[in-house]
Amino acid sequence: MPETLDEGVLYITLSFRVAIHLCACGCRNQVVTPLGVGQWRVSCEGEHISLSPSIGNFQFPCRSHYFITKNEVVWLGS
């Protein structure tokens, strides 16, 4: 992982089984999602990446909640 994360980039490391990105709301909090059975999973369709289930950042002040689906952020209610 780079020291500084870029907005709008989902960083995935299969060797550590984790995906990391900056919160999609723009608050710049780092979101870490462990990958594996019973956790998040990454799917690839060509150049399109999806991460599921949803990401609920309820511990952050922004309380953002969204999916990353085919390289797009799909917002959900809190």
Closest residue by Cα to residue 24 from 65, 53, 59: 65
- Indicate the pTM of the whole model: 0.91
Q: What is the pLDDT of residues 15-50, one digit of tens each?
A: 999 999 999 999 999 999 999 999 999 999 999 999
Residue 37 CA to residue 53 CA, distance in Å, equals 12
CA dist 58 and 36 (Å) reads: 21
The tens digit of pLDDT for each residue in 41-71 reads 999 999 999 999 999 999 999 999 999 999 9
Residue with tokens 């990391």: 20
Once rounded to an integer, what is the mean pLDDT over residues 67-76?
A: 96
Bridge partners of residue 67, in order along the sequence: 74
pLDDT of residue 77 exceeding 90, the answer is no
